[in-house]
Structure 1
């Protein structure tokens, strides 16, 4: 069984989501989608799914995330996928974690979260970082509280770069139940294009 997932997270401001946008993002075939509009020149989230495999059951749009419940047509099993575009200001980061904690309370299905969290977990994830700070520790506690797995990233050490600054602020987090659906999934980065972020994907194949 081939599992097809797509989450797209934009920084240039997606004013609208339509079939034209999805085609330019490389999506082909019969796909459904949901979106959260950008705020000014930043943000914007699109989550898309292959409608030959999945049906949309429910969704919830927050200030920093878009969550969908998808049902697999083969056996009607449900999963949650949340796309994230995190806040840059430290004072707002608490609101992101509260928003995502609410998703786990709202639904109880295998969960995957992906996107730009605007935060790192470890000092090794930011070039030149020398010590852990409170926001990093809060991010780590959120992952532990929700029993999420941060798969190792292959392809590159960092996912964002601007000038001499480099960080791993983009990632997928999955719960153990997700691995029961796709047990051999890996997280890897792709080559930069026009963005200062590396696209990242969950690839349901073992590394060669």
Structure 2
């Protein structure tokens, strides 16, 4: 089983979609998480352009304006989805890994830059964890800077 996660920072250009499809072809993942698609329209054509025929099942959360957008694609022969919970910041797929005969939750996250919104997202995930299977795989963009050297743009504020 292979799970890939990528913050693409926009899928508006053809070369970005081709890069995602090449990644899928090269690695043949069970699940693909995409964050910050920036797509306001999500349809079957987008799914085919990213996952081809292998990752044909999907859940998408459209962007608001020019920010956000989540896409979760999976191989239905390897992972059978039983339930899906989604909002602007998270797509949680509860299902069964066929080869292991295990129930698992895959969670694709694109957290807000605002600290109190990130806390609300984690509270929501923790609440969902009570009623869903115990095995979880969480990936995505958590918009959290743990060490000041991770910061790529802007100034570093002391005390963070």
Taking structure 1 as the reference length, the TM-score comes to 0.55
Please give the alpha-carbon distance, in whole angstroms, between the structure 2 residues aligned to 1:49 and 1:61.
Answer: 15
Q: Find the counterpart in structure 2 of residue 5 from structure 1.
A: 31
Matched, 1:69 2:99: no
1:131 to 1:110, Cα distance in 2 relative to 1, 3 A? farther
Match of residue 73 from structure 2:
48
- Distance change >3 Å, CA 125–CA 132, structure 1 → 2: farther
The offset of 1:130, in angstroms, is 5.9
1:47-196 map, 5 Å? 47-127=72-152, 129=156, 131-133=158-160
Unaligned runs of 5+ in 1: 134-208
Q: What residue in structure 1 maps to residue 58 of structure 2?
A: 33
Distance (whole Å) between structure 2 residues aligned to residue 39 and residue 30 of structure 1:
25
* Higher fraction of helix: 2
- After superposition, the CA RMSD in angstroms is 2.4
Q: Deviations over 1:34-67 (max 9, x none)?
A: 1222222211111111011111111111341110
Q: CA deviation at 1:26?
A: 4.4
Q: Does the 8 Å CA contact 1:65/1:83 hold for their aligned counterparts?
A: yes
Structure 1 partner of 2:10: none
Superposition deviation, residue 120 in structure 1: 1.6
CA offsets, 1:55-88, max 9 Å, x none?
A: 1111111341110012122343111111111112
Q: Which fold has the larger relative contact order, with Cα–Cα distance below 8 Å and residues 6 or more apart in sequence?
A: 2
TM-score (norm. length: structure 2): 0.69
Q: What CA distance in whole angstroms lies between the structure 1 residues aligned with 2:40 and 2:135? A: 28
**Residues 70 and 125 of structure 1, relative CA distance in 2, 3 Å threshold:** same
